[in-house]
Copies of this chain bind each other. A is one copy, B any other.
Amino acid sequence: MEFASMSKRQRSDVSSPTFASGAKIRRVTTASAIYEQLHAAILSLQMKPGVALQEKRIAEEFGVSRTPVREALLRLAEAGLVEIFPQSGTFVSPIPVSAIPEAVVIRKSLERTTVEHAAEIATAGDIARLDAIIARQRVHAALNEPSQFHEEDEAFHEAISAIAGYPGIWSILKSVKLQIDRARRLTLPVRGRMDSVIEEHMTIRDAIAAHDVDHARGAMMRHLSAVIPDIDELRLLYPGYFS
């Protein structure tokens, strides 16, 4: 792994504070920048499960001291992406096979709640926003851009949470999706799968637009069942990546 070393002055030319949910006024700090980089690297499997992370080495690569690196690693540990063994070392977490079924259960439970409520109260504008996301997904599928496609996939589910008025649920879902997505990233993105995802999204969208709670729930449940990665197969392909 190589990282572009960052200037210490980076935080001077930062944009105005973000007033996101919860009134976080936190600006871009060195620690959080490193967190983002490592987070992306682990999620994209550029850093493979099991490899050692050394505070000192990372600090040198980024051109900063160990303190912000340590802060970033602590946050990654809380997210479950790295494991810190005191006085021993820090390693990229293996993908926790055992946790994935539960993660799927949690997703189903929470997304069921959001999609039901969204179907009840969605406005025309909300539907338009979903349509826009699906349209972008079609483009990415046609151009075979799995990464951007996945981003829009996240946007779709986030939009539903937003429609339901449950932004907090989305932040929980994000953390739950982490490990699932890491496993899924191992499977080659299949062209056909993207198309069926779009179809499933369309079904969900239609049910929400029709305020049909039952169909919305059913469509979402089928959708979520379809995206469960085949762990056993992956375990064979990538031994040592799982716990």
Contacts and interface: CB of A to CB of B under 8 A. Distances in A.
Interface of A: 22-27, 29, 67, 71, 74-75, 78, 80, 83-86, 96, 99, 102-103, 105-106, 108-110, 112-113, 117, 165-169, 172, 176, 243
A49 to B, nearest CB: 13
A206 to B, nearest CB: 24
A71 B75 CA distance: 10
Contacts of A110: 106, 109-110
Contacts of A117: 105
A166 B22 contact: no
Contacts of A243: 23
Given A102-B166, A166-B105, A169-B106, A26 B113 contact: no
**Number of copies of this kind of chain in the complex:** 2
Nearest to A93: B22
Contacts of A102: 165-169
Contacts of A176: 172
A10 to B, nearest CB: 14
Contact of A172 (B67, B113, B172): B172
A152 to B, nearest CB: 25
A99 B109 CA distance: 19
Nearest to A109: B113
A95 B96 CA distance: 34
Given A75-B74, A105-B113, A26 B168 contact: no
12 contacts: A22-B96, A23-B243, A24-B83, A29-B86, A78-B78, A102-B167, A102-B168, A102-B169, A105-B117, A106-B172, A110-B110, A172-B176
Q: Among the interface residues A67, A75, A86, A96, which one has the most CB atoms of the partner chain B within 10 A?
A: A86
A86 B168 contact: no
A243 B106 CA distance: 29
Nearest to A175: B172
